[in-house]
């Protein structure tokens, strides 16, 4: 395979000669693509297939709507960057926030000056009234399949299939020990999702390390469901806290947020998935009369229960670590910020609740 010859970036005379990105999820791939675009030689390591862990599946929710104005503004920037990547990566159906928590989200959107519509016309797979509800018209379905195809294509020359088992700081760089080979790099971006904490600790970085279980389930929309349903987040404590959106045509993905008794790591994956399945099917039966409650498919992942929406960066020497929850919607922004931080030897501002 032809590997493109990197073109030095004229504004960064001291740019690193080599960068390792650990993780080929959406954040690692976005970073790799941004570095390649800036002419920096990169190796992007992953222990499995690209987009195989937290970035797996075919769809996610995009939204400007957040509880924190700085995250609203980050989402606005990310939306523009998604469009620069390519058209059609986000299906602009809108995102509805309903329930008692909706007010908090509109306050943050108002502070950021982005449009929202109170008591909007709803296209949701339920005939129940939803009050209060607000529409984020810029929201929609992120097509993970299209984003993945684009990023893998752009990063192809850099991808390495190998398990990184150690990072070792040396005076002249960081040695990445992966798959029986040890290689020195000028800089490392740690974008390894659930694999961040053990590698980060080896170089004196301690991002939050808690893990919990989460599972999302997909169902069929009934023929009576409205076409092009909006993405939907329910925030009230009276109902279950959920997120929902269409995936493949005619399908509806539902994620229910359960408490620690059902999701903490010690519960075990099998029991946690069983609890999530029972709660989600009950929710669908009780609340979504336009959805067939038979499960079509499921998606499991780990989450960090101590984190909420937010983008977080930490640096120790030559290693920059990125982490957070619900990062997909920010991916192009994260890629750009990580690439610039590598070139400038800086740390981007973290956004969202402190960790
Ligand atoms: C069901 C579900 C629903 C979600 N909904 C939304 C949503 O609606 N909107 C939104 O914005 N976000 C959502 N998210 C969150 C979002 O998808 C994740 O935050 C994002 O994909 C994380 O990307 P990442 O690159 O940081 O991590 P990952 O995708 O987990 O990538 C990390 C990569 O690092 C690799 N790795 C780890 N350790 C090592 C090692 N030692 N050596 C080599 N490779 C290693 C892994 O194999 C993995 O591929 C959802 C996530 C899930 C699972």
Q: Give 91's strand partners.
A: 141
Which atom from ligand 1 is nearest to the alpha carbon of 26? 25
Tell me the CA–centroid distance for residue 16 and ligand 1, in Å: 26
Nearest CA among 218, 216, 226 for reference residue 126? 226
Note the pLDDT of residue 247. Answer: 85
Residue 197 placed within a domain = yes
Note the pLDDT of residue 270. Answer: 98
Residue 64 placed within a domain = no
**Separation of alpha carbons 167 and 178, rounded Å:** 9
Tell me the CA–centroid distance for residue 25 and ligand 1, in Å: 5
Residue 35 placed within a domain = yes
Residues spanned by the domain of 227: 95-137+211-303
293 and 238 both lie in a single domain: yes
Tell me the CA–centroid distance for residue 29 and ligand 1, in Å: 11
Note the pLDDT of residue 131. Answer: 81
Paired sense of beta strands 181-185 and 173-178, if any: antiparallel
222 and 335 both lie in a single domain: no
Residue 100 placed within a domain = yes
Residue 350 placed within a domain = no
Note the pLDDT of residue 14. Answer: 62
Note the pLDDT of residue 1. Answer: 38
Note the pLDDT of residue 355. Answer: 76
> In degrees, to the nearest 5, what angle opens at C-alpha 342 toward C-alphas 174 and 19?
45
Q: DSSP letter at 330?
A: G
Tell me the CA–centroid distance for residue 195 and ligand 1, in Å: 10
At 76, list the tokens. Answer: 């606005």
Note the pLDDT of residue 237. Answer: 58
Which atom from ligand 1 is nearest to the alpha carbon of 215? 1
Tell me the CA–centroid distance for residue 342 and ligand 1, in Å: 21
132 and 44 both lie in a single domain: no
128 and 216 both lie in a single domain: yes
239 and 282 both lie in a single domain: yes
The number of CA neighbours under 13 Å toward the Cβ of 16 is 29
Q: Do residues 177 and 165 lie in contact, with contact meaning Cβ atoms separated by under 8 Å?
A: yes
At 295, list the tokens. Answer: 């499960």
Residue 326 placed within a domain = yes
271 and 160 both lie in a single domain: no
280 and 242 both lie in a single domain: yes
Which of 33, 193, 298, 303 for mutating ligand 1's site (highest number of atoms within 8 Å of CB)? 193
Query: What CATH number does the domain containing 153 carry?
Result: 3.50.50.60
Query: What CATH number does the domain containing 131 carry?
Result: 3.30.9.10
Residue 196 placed within a domain = yes
Which of 53, 255, 269, 309 for mutating ligand 1's site (highest number of atoms within 8 Å of CB)? 53
Note the pLDDT of residue 68. Answer: 94
Which atom from ligand 1 is nearest to the alpha carbon of 322? 26
Which of 55, 242, 295 for mutating ligand 1's site (highest number of atoms within 8 Å of CB)? 55
Locate tokens 């029972």: which residue? 278
Mark residue 328 as left, alpha or beta (left: phi above 0; alpha: psi -120 to 50; beta: remaining). Answer: alpha
Tell me the CA–centroid distance for residue 115 and ligand 1, in Å: 29
Residue 90 placed within a domain = no
- Ligand 1 pocket list (CB less than 6 A): 22-28, 45-48, 52-55, 60-61, 163-164, 191-195, 199, 216, 243, 255, 299, 301, 325-329
Which atom from ligand 1 is nearest to the alpha carbon of 198? 41
Tell me the CA–centroid distance for residue 211 and ligand 1, in Å: 13
190 and 314 both lie in a single domain: yes
215 and 132 both lie in a single domain: yes
173 and 191 both lie in a single domain: yes
Q: Do residues 55 and 218 lie in contact, with contact meaning Cβ atoms separated by under 8 Å?
A: no
Which atom from ligand 1 is nearest to the alpha carbon of 195? 38
49 and 161 both lie in a single domain: yes
The domain tally of the chain equals 2
Q: Do residues 243 and 142 lie in contact, with contact meaning Cβ atoms separated by under 8 Å?
A: no
132 and 224 both lie in a single domain: yes
Q: Output the tens digit of pLDDT for each of the chain's 355 residues.
A: 334 444 444 445 567 789 999 999 999 999 999 999 999 999 999 999 999 999 999 999 999 999 999 999 999 999 999 999 999 999 999 999 999 888 889 999 999 999 999 999 999 999 988 888 999 999 999 999 999 999 999 999 999 999 999 999 999 999 999 988 999 999 999 999 999 999 999 999 999 999 999 999 999 999 999 999 999 999 875 557 999 999 889 999 999 999 999 999 999 999 999 999 999 999 999 999 999 999 999 999 999 988 989 999 999 999 999 999 999 999 999 999 999 999 999 999 889 887 7
């Amino acid at each position: 395979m032809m590997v493109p010859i990197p073109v030095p970036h004229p504004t960064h005379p001291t740019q690193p000669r080599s960068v390792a990105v650990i993780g080929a999820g959406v954040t690692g791939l976005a970073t790799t693509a941004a570095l390649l675009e800036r002419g920096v030689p990169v190796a992007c390591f992953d222990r499995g297939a690209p987009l195989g862990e937290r970035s797996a599946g075919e769809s996610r929710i995009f939204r400007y709507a957040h509880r924190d104005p700085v995250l609203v503004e980050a989402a606005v920037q990310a939306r523009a960057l998604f469009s620069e990547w390519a058209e059609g990566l986000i299906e602009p159906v809108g995102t509805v926030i309903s329930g008692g928590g909706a007010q908090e989200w509109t306050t943050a959107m108002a502070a950021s000056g982005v449009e929202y519509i109170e008591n909007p016309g709803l296209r949701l797979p339920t005939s129940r009234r939803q009050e209060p509800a607000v529409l984020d018209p810029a929201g929609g379905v992120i097509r993970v399949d299209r984003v993945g195809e684009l990023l893998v294509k752009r990063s192809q020359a850099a991808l390495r299939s190998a398990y990184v088992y150690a990072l070792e700081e040396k005076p002249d760089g960081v040695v990445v020990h992966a798959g029986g080979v040890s290689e020195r790099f000028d800089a490392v971006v740690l974008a390894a999702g659930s694999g961040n904490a053990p590698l980060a600790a080896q170089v004196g970085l301690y991002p939050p390390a808690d893990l919990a279980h989460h599972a999302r389930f997909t169902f069929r929309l009934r023929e009576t469901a409205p076409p092009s349903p909006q993405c939907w987040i329910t925030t009230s404590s009276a109902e279950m806290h959920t997120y929902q959106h269409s995936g493949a045509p005619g399908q509806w993905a539902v994620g229910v947020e359960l408490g620690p008794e059902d999701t903490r790591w010690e519960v075990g994956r099998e029991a946690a998935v069983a609890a999530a399945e029972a709660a989600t099917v009950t929710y669908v039966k009780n609340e979504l009369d336009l959805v067939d409650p038979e499960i079509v498919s499921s998606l499991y992942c780990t989450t960090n229960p101590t984190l909420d929406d937010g983008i977080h960066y930490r640096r120790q020497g030559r290693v920059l670590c990125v982490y957070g929850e619900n990062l997909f919607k920010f991916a192009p922004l994260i890629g750009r910020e990580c690439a610039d931080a590598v070139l400038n030897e800086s740390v981007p501002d973290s956004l969202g609740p402190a960790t």
